[in-house]
Amino acid sequence: GENVEQHPSTLSVQEGDSAVIKCTYSDSASNYFPWYKQELGKRPQLIIDIRSNVGEKKDQRIAVTLNKTAKHFSLHITETQPEDSAVYFCAALGSGNTGKLIFGQGTTLQVKP
Amino acid sequence: DAGVIQSPRHEVTEMGQEVTLRCKPISGHNSLFWYRQTMMRGLELLIYFNNNVPIDDSGMPEDRFSAKMPNASFSTLKIQPSEPRDSAVYFCASSRQGGGNTIYFGEGSWLTVV
């Protein structure tokens, strides 16, 4: 079935450094890949997304890259700040254009001041 | 917009009791999702609806779980009877119909079954 693998499960960086989280997906028909940030005790919130017709998208300090051939996509956070500390989830839209998102297991990012 | 509204926010119940979680999606959204989040299993899709019709309930763990969407502005997730392993955060989410539309999550219902 559809599957999304996310790595690493935990990531610790110094403030100002970059952080990279990687995901792979199994359904070659997937064409939409959002990233969600979840702070402790809060709901997941969309931070950036990418569609299959582009290879890269950037929004200030965050960027996402997509390699459809290899079926993987990555989140890049530059100049990390303590408030970036959270759990990050990647997701891939299941085939059939039904809106069914399959989530990765999440990455706990800790930014040390 | 008030966003996706869920109730109750927190519930503690005894094993064997019935639990009903409620959700009001964002107005104009016609896709609704129920997710369960635990440390062990992460975010799991339980069921989703398009235009009030259940499309995929393959994630519903067992017959003790049921979900309904009687109209476009209300959905329920029911667990009967509840068990301690059902303890989790249950998120309702909604989006405009069709793939590639942003899914917005509610605040979640924190369920503890003792």
Q: What is the pLDDT of residues B12-38, one digit of tens each?
A: 999 999 999 999 999 999 899 999 999
Beta-sheet strands, E only, within chain B: 5-7, 10-13, 19-24, 31-38, 42-50, 53-56, 65-71, 74-79, 88-95, 104-105, 109-113
Give residue A106's identity as a one-letter amino acid code: G
Q: Does A92 touch chain B (CB under 8 A)?
A: no
| CB-CB neighbours of A78 under 10 Å | 14
Residue A91 near residue A100, CB atoms below 8 Å: no
What pLDDT is attached to residue B96? 87
Look at residue B85 and give its three-state secondary structure. helix
At A15-24, the pLDDT tens digits run 999 999 999 9
What pLDDT is attached to residue B98? 64
What pLDDT is attached to residue B102? 86
**Nearest neighbour of A43 by CB, restricted to B97, B98, B105:** B105
Residue A111 near residue A80, CB atoms below 8 Å: yes
> Nearest 5°: phi and psi at B67?
-140, 145
For B1-33, b/e burial (b = at least 16 CB within 10 A) is: eeebebeeeebebeeeeebebbbbbbeebbbbb
Answer yes or no: do B45 and A101 touch at CB < 8 A: yes
Q: Measure the CA dihedral A24/A30/A32/A37, to 10°.
A: -40
Residue with tokens 């509204």: B5
- Statement: residue A72 has pLDDT above 60: yes
Residue A86 near residue A77, CB atoms below 8 Å: no
Give residue B105's identity as a one-letter amino acid code: F
Nearest CA in chain B to A33: B100
Q: Does A58 touch chain B (CB under 8 A)?
A: no
Low-confidence ranges of chain B (pLDDT < 70): 1, 98-99
Confidence of residue A101 (pLDDT cuts 50, 70, 90): confident
DSSP code of residue B62? S
Length of chain A: 113
| CB-CB neighbours of B59 under 10 Å | 16
What pLDDT is attached to residue A26? 92
Average pLDDT over chain A, rounded to an integer: 92
DSSP code of residue A42? S
- Statement: residue A64 has pLDDT above 80: yes
What pLDDT is attached to residue A93? 87
| CB-CB neighbours of B67 under 10 Å | 20
A1 vs A31, more confident:
A31
Across A73-83, average pLDDT:
97
What pLDDT is attached to residue A95? 67
